[in-house]
Amino acid sequence: MKALCFCFQVHQALRLRQYRFFDIGNEHYYYDDYTNENIIRKLADTCYLPANAVLLDLLIALKGKFKISFSISGLALDQFELYAPEVIESFQKLATTGYVEFLSETDSHSLVSLKNKAEFIKQIETHSQRIEDLFGQKPQVFKNTELIYSDSIGETIAELGFHGILAEGAQHILKWKSPNYLYCNSISPKLKVLMRNCKFSNDIAWGFNFDGGLTTERFVANLNQLDEKEQIVNIFLNYETIGGYQSKETGIFDFLRYLPETVIRDSEFKFAKVSEIVSNYQAVSKIQIPVPIACVDKEQDLSPLLGNHIQNEALNKLYELNASIVKINDARLNKDWRFLQASDHFYFMCTKPFTNNNIHNNPFSSPYEAFINYMNILSDFKICLKEKDIPKITSTSES
């Protein structure tokens, strides 16, 4: 059987407010609530709610012939709970169909897999429990932030009992191999590795702006041109593509509405959830990836996230605080700690000229402004940690 696996990433950055040098030590609230609420409310109306409504109709009508998977970040869930709880309810309706799967990821949508194994595991366990509480599913497959993957990251995921992990189908890794097979981790072969098909994913992400626009017929015709032996196509893309990056006027909702029917009618492909791919297919070989890859940019590496000295400086200074966070274990500081780890903050510091910051709604006019703003906040956060770490001195008076 040929399988078509659709997995959508749902994530929105938690944007920081303009934080000046003179705020350090005086103002301990770091977030731009107005902007965050406006963005979530806009996307709820243009993307999440209408797209989920289309999917719900399809899932009910096609009765198991159409299946889909989601990876929803902890930061997205936080903002839905604050600003648009009906979005969570709409995802819960999808879950009740039995044809939707929810994956685990890092709760903070962070880069912690590159810095601290204990914190990495903690975030995964937190997020997995949250998904189980909200959607009644214990995740079996893991998706790291921006599809960051390496052999050692996969080894950790296998240790946690996951059966599969998503990874970018990076050409410099695959070389002559195809992403349209199931692979396994080179250290822990029991962990299956699903490689993203970049071409088919990007056709949906950007294909509505070129060559007359993408149609379901054209998409399925391209599927049918694949080699007969290639039996798995993994489509991983941002959910905000539907109604967000690609507006309703492009025809993206019609594409979503009619694609399942066209695939079923005109191809040999069957829709499958990620865990079904892992369970029903055998890995053809190990995939060796000693250096982390990602799906952030065309180089398919970490350069948009950690490609310059200011990004590395900010990330290193952040994780130097990990031991203090664990020691102090203060509820408010733990919350700030979660939010400050989000990968978006480091992406906003990217100096690569061809990186499309508009897609990520970069609120800063330059990467250096993003860096200074973040480091100002981190300086105040360190002050708060030190204040909490000072032993309280109690005095007794003689009676």
Sign of CA pseudo-dihedral 187, 6, 347, 177: positive
Q: Please give the Cα distance from 324 to 301 (Å, whole number).
A: 31
- Rounded to the nearest 10 degrees, the angle between the axes of helix 74-83 and helix 33-43 is 90
Q: Please give the Cα distance from 51 to 282 (Å, whole number).
A: 33
Q: Is 2 left (phi over 0), alpha (psi -120 to 50) or beta?
A: beta
Is residue 162 a contact partner of residue 140, using CB atoms and an 8 Å limit?
yes
Burial class (CB in 10 A: 0-12, 13-18, 19+), 215: middle
Q: Please give the Cα distance from 213 to 169 (Å, whole number).
A: 24
146 is catalytic: yes
Is residue 341 a contact partner of residue 318, using CB atoms and an 8 Å limit?
yes
| Active-site residue, selected from the candidate residues 105, 146, 168, 240 | 146
Q: Please give the Cα distance from 174 to 171 (Å, whole number).
A: 5
Is residue 343 a contact partner of residue 111, using CB atoms and an 8 Å limit?
yes
CA 275 to chain centre: 17
Active site residues: 146
